[in-house]
């Protein structure tokens, strides 16, 4: 610990006892540390233990602390993963709506709507059939009941069951 050496000359004398006390305390701490290290080396030599090693208890405590930290991070990460799947599903619904518009512009024979997502794949609008964030197919209805000029799409969400709170509907994209 170092104390300021050049503050003002009139205050220099008042720092001397404080500096002496700080030096004495630092010296005491150094001496106690040396004595403890000497004692530890002597104990380790008697027990046959190598100097500087960790005990099993210390390792287990460190592993417990690290695993608790990773567990907390995993809980947070899985929550973000579910949000990402929901966003991916909503983005895929937008792409499907754009694909239906493109299909309508390119369609011949006077058809108003594709009969399903497979028509979008066969007409090369999509390379493969689009799936939601959980890898399941969308429920497709064209023309839709809610979007009469477009398409209604439903994903059954995380649980895969119809009519539950986690269902994602194309007409409720504002959620």
Please indicate whether residue 41 or residue 105 has the higher confidence score (pLDDT): 105
Q: What is the pLDDT of residue 54?
A: 85
* Chain segment 21-71, per-residue pLDDT in tens: 777 767 777 777 777 777 767 666 666 555 578 889 989 999 999 999 999
As a whole number, mean pLDDT of residues 117-123 equals 85
Count, in order, helices (H) and strands (E) of the chain.
Answer: 3, 3
Is the predicted pLDDT of residue 153 greater than 50, yes or no?
yes
What is the side-by-side order of every strand in the sheet holding 168-169? Answer: 139-141, 152-155, 168-169
User: In the predicted model, what is the mean pLDDT of the chain?
Assistant: 79
Is the predicted pLDDT of residue 10 greater than 50, yes or no?
no
Q: What is the pLDDT of residue 100?
A: 85
Split at pLDDT 50, 70, 90, the class of 151 is confident
As a whole number, mean pLDDT of residues 15-19 equals 67
Neighbour-count burial of 38, counting CB atoms closer than 10 A to its CB (0-12 exposed, 13-18 middle, 19+ buried): exposed
Give the H or E element holding residue 36: helix 9-47
Q: What is the pLDDT of residue 36?
A: 75
Please indicate whether residue 114 or residue 110 has the higher confidence score (pLDDT): 114
Can you list the positions of beta strands (E) in the chain? 139-141, 152-155, 168-169
Split at pLDDT 50, 70, 90, the class of 158 is confident
- Most confident region among 3-17, 27-41, 64-78, 138-152 by mean pLDDT: 64-78
As a whole number, mean pLDDT of residues 130-140 equals 89
List all residues 6 or more positions away from 45 whose beta carbon is below 8 Å from its beta carbon. none
């Amino acid at each position: 610990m170092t104390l300021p050496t050049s503050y003002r000359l009139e205050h220099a004398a008042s720092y001397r006892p404080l500096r002496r006390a700080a030096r004495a305390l630092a010296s005491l701490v150094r001496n106690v540390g040396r004595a403890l290290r000497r004692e530890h080396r002597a104990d380790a030599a008697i027990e046959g233990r190598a100097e500087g090693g960790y005990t099993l208890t210390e390792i287990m405590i460190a592993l417990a602390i690290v695993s608790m930290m990773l567990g907390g991070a995993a809980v947070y990460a899985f929550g973000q993963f579910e949000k990402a799947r929901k966003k991916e599903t909503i983005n895929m619904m937008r792409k499907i709506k754009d694909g239906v518009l493109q299909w309508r512009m390119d369609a011949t024979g006077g058809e108003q709507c594709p009969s399903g997502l497979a028509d979008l794949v066969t007409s090369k609008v999509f390379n493969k059939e689009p799936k939601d964030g959980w890898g399941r197919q969308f429920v497709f209805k064209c023309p839709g009941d809610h979007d009469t000029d477009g398409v209604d799409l439903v994903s059954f969400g995380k649980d895969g069951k119809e009519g539950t709170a986690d269902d994602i509907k194309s007409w409720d994209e504002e959620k």
